[in-house]
Amino acid sequence: MSGSRQIVCPQCAGINRVPNDKPAGAARCGKCSTPLFSGKPVEVNAEAFDRHVQRGDIPVLVDVWAHWCGPCRMMAPAFEAAAAELEAGVRLLKVNSEAEPAVSARLGIRSIPTLLLFAGGREIARVSGAMAASQIVSWTRGRLASAA
């Protein structure tokens, strides 16, 4: 299979073309040499959020959270464990709703934690409330399979 997919660097937000026949999990950024996947969620600001969702060719799972939110803090280790399992097929991002209120408003966030799943630059699913890692992985894979 020929062609490539665009993957956004978690460090510098550079756009990287990764050949389809090469494993994305081992790829490094051509701009800053950072691995494109670390098995951990990426904390992003509004600009990086838009870049990952709009320019990346892989699905993006976003956790909208806040420091003061107990369920958000409880779910953080589960979201990190889900990242280790879902990457490099899905990019996992974290958006702090207090630091990025414009992103939260644009996404219509009413409660946190909220998970949003994007594919092809558009939202395909969302769910609110804390979940275990296995639930996050299952929910994500199920929604992606339904959208395919």
What is the Rg, in whole angstroms, of the alpha carbon atoms belonging to the chain? 15
Q: Which residue has the tokens 């699913």?
A: 125
Q: Which stretch of DSSP H or E encloses residue 7? A: strand 4-8
Active-site residues: which are they?
Answer: 69, 72
With a CB cutoff of 8 Å and minimum separation 6, the contacts of 99 are 45
CA 67/CA 75 separation, integer angstroms: 12
Q: Is 34 helix (H, G, I), strand (E, B) or coil?
A: coil
